[in-house]
Chains A and B, each alone.
Chain A
Amino acid sequence: MSYGLAVIYGVMRIINLAHAGLMMLAAYVTLTLNTRFGLDPFLSLVVVAPLFFGFGVVLDLTLIRRLPRGGTGPSMQSLLLLFGLWLVLQNLAYVVWGGDTQAILTPYTMSSVPLLGERYGVPLLLVFAVSLASLVGLTIVLRRTFLGKAIRAVTQNRDAALLSGVNAARISAVAFGLGTAFAAIAGTMLSALYAFTPDFGRSLLLKAFCIIVLGGMESFTGVAIGALVLALIENLTGAYTDIPTSFQDAISFSLLVLVLVVAPNGLPALFRGFSRRAVAR
């Protein structure tokens, strides 16, 4: 049931493997949620995704560009920069839309469909479908197209990519844009499912992070697996124990801690070799 959500989280986190736009994703999630003017949320994806892609590219060109690059993985400076941006965007959201909880209702919000012996909410199914499609689409782009390979190249070794003729600057901008677009997708879909406030992004960011750590920072399928595991655990603890759902954040975090202690490189790494990207021995 929560697999749909799980996949969304996975989608959100995937592009992060290519660049440092961490906090911003949460901000976009929040903003996207607030942006829907009478257009059905799922249909609005067509507009929202490209829009945010563009925004992401612009952001990369203007802001991220200024930061000293190099080193492995996202730097502290870029994180803080994006963090600042998140705050600004949050404030913007507060000012424009107010801090009250909002929700989006459509004719089909309450309806459900019987499937495999259980009833599933229509919005949930749609979200699942979109997430899955995005995930698959992204994987195809990254594996099969030149752009995808270029992105992976820049992520792995920027200098080598430059030597191979890849316009690293442009590719980075594109990757960043993709990341924001996906965050926007995630946000829009979540807006169809839940009520939200401008502060919404935070717990999502956390969950997304858990998924990354669970799935290992290297592979996309790992992220998907991580997402599934998190969703499973959240649901199971909710159904079979007395822990109230308001504790969900705490549960996610405990899971994160557990994973960090037991398998710091993510579950896939338990079965495979080693990766030093984000873990200090």
Chain B
Amino acid sequence: MLVLAAALLLAPLVAERGTLNDLWSVAFAIVLASAWNLLGGFAGQVSLGYSAFVGIGAYTTVLLANAGWNPWVTLPVGAVLAVLFSVVVGLPTFRLRGPYFSIATIGVGEAVRVIASGMEFTGGSSGLRMPSANFHFLSNYYGMAGLALLTVALVAWVRVSAFGMALEAIRQDIDAAEALGIHSTRYKLYAHALSAAMVGAGGGLFAMNFQYISPGSVFDFPLSLRIVLMPIVGGIGTLLGPVLGAVLFGYLQIKLLASPTLRDFNLFIYGGLLMLVMLFEPRGIVGLWERLRRLWQRRASKPAEASRAA
């Protein structure tokens, strides 16, 4: 983990622009995947509508920047708006359990996209541009890398905190958790809010780097899908999982876009990966690794047991 952090931070010293671009994307993916994991992995509520938060952050930044604000200042504003939205969405939808909740979140994402495409002041379906005076790649890079590190640190903290344990309890058995006095809806809302904040900030940074956003680029469903796939394939509910997933998907994206034949199969690959994970190792790459490790440990200790028995 620390190695990764160091790599991210030191890369601009040795790598060229192209690689840095890729790393930026990976950092973005890490933010999204790890933040989502708070609600999806720890609390067990799989939300398929996270692109809404990306979009809220992005649009906030663009709109405010166009009104003269310093883009960096708009980031926390975007985060706050995302948090507010997460509460508005969470209150009714958290009444639903499991798969039903997930489907409802699809609706959220879609509804937001439709509304954003329809409204004038958000530029309609043709999107908005940032005022171009502000583009500075290196600071964008460090901004995103910093956010990624912050997100992972936050997730690590939650994991060992009482809050994190409450979420875990909710994931395992919501009724039992309630019986123990855990106010499940409130905790779900907290998790939702925290992750929304991170994702919203990420969205703002996205706008800063790409300089142009549209409902199609920030609100679309495939984005929500990728946000969910990364932690699931990497290892849902773990700290390392989403990061691994983000790196894997980042790599896949690059390869897919580069190869004309493979490009048409991206859905196939995503879907296939999802299916494989669900069928064989629901805990993703991390789960697989754990399984292999236990197998190996058992094999290593067998000779010892045999000699004891004899």
Contact = CB atoms under 8 A, between A and B. Distances in A.
Contacts of A206: 103, 106-107, 110
A215 B301 CA distance: 57
A206 B275 CA distance: 22
B174 interface: yes
Contacts of A254: 111
A279 B103 CA distance: 13
Interface residues of B, number: 45
A28 B266 CA distance: 20
A91 B279 CA distance: 20
B265 to A, nearest CB: 6
A246 B94 CA distance: 27
Nearest to B274: A84
Given A74-B99, A250-B115, A280-B94, A84 B271 contact: yes
Contact of A80 (B92, B95, B274): B274
Contacts of B108: 253
Interface string A213-248: 100000000000000000000000000000010110
Contact of B118 (A94, A95, A246, A257): A246
Interface in A73-127: 73-81, 83-92, 94-95
Contacts of B221: 202
B252 to A, nearest CB: 14
Q: Which secondary structure characterizes the binding site on chain B?
A: helix
A278 B279 contact: no
Interface in A248-264: 249-250, 252-254, 256-257, 260-261, 264
B107 A22 contact: no
B275 A280 contact: no
Interface in B116-130: 117-118
Interface string A174-203: 000000000000000000000000000011
A256 B279 contact: no
Interface string B264-281: 111110111111001100
Contact of A76 (B46, B92, B275): B46
B102 interface: yes
Contacts, number: 140
Contact of B267 (A90, A244, A257): A90
Interface in B252-309: 264-268, 270-275, 278-279, 282
Contact of B184 (A22, A77, A89, A280): A280
Contact of A279 (B95, B118, B178, B273): B95
Interface in B69-125: 91-100, 102-104, 106-108, 110-111, 114-115, 117-118
A202 B108 CA distance: 12
Contacts of B271: 83-91
Given A67-B278, A81-B275, A205 B106 contact: yes
B100 A278 contact: yes
Contact of A260 (B93, B99, B225): B93
Contacts of B279: 63, 66-67, 81
A209 interface: yes
A89 B95 CA distance: 31
Contact of A278 (B97, B117, B264, B274): B97
Contacts of B106: 202, 205-206
Interface of A: 20, 22, 63, 66-67, 73-81, 83-92, 94-95, 202-203, 205-206, 209-210, 213, 244, 246-247, 249-250, 252-254, 256-257, 260-261, 264, 278-281
Given A76-B46, A206-B107, A260-B95, 14 more contacts: A76-B98, A87-B225, A87-B270, A91-B265, A91-B266, A206-B103, A244-B118, A246-B118, A252-B107, A253-B110, A254-B111, A278-B98, A280-B96, A281-B95
30 contacts: A22-B99, A66-B279, A73-B99, A77-B278, A78-B99, A79-B46, A81-B274, A81-B278, A83-B271, A84-B271, A84-B278, A87-B268, A87-B272, A88-B267, A88-B268, A203-B110, A205-B103, A206-B110, A209-B104, A213-B100, A246-B114, A247-B114, A249-B111, A260-B93, A260-B104, A261-B91, A279-B96, A280-B94, A280-B174, A281-B95
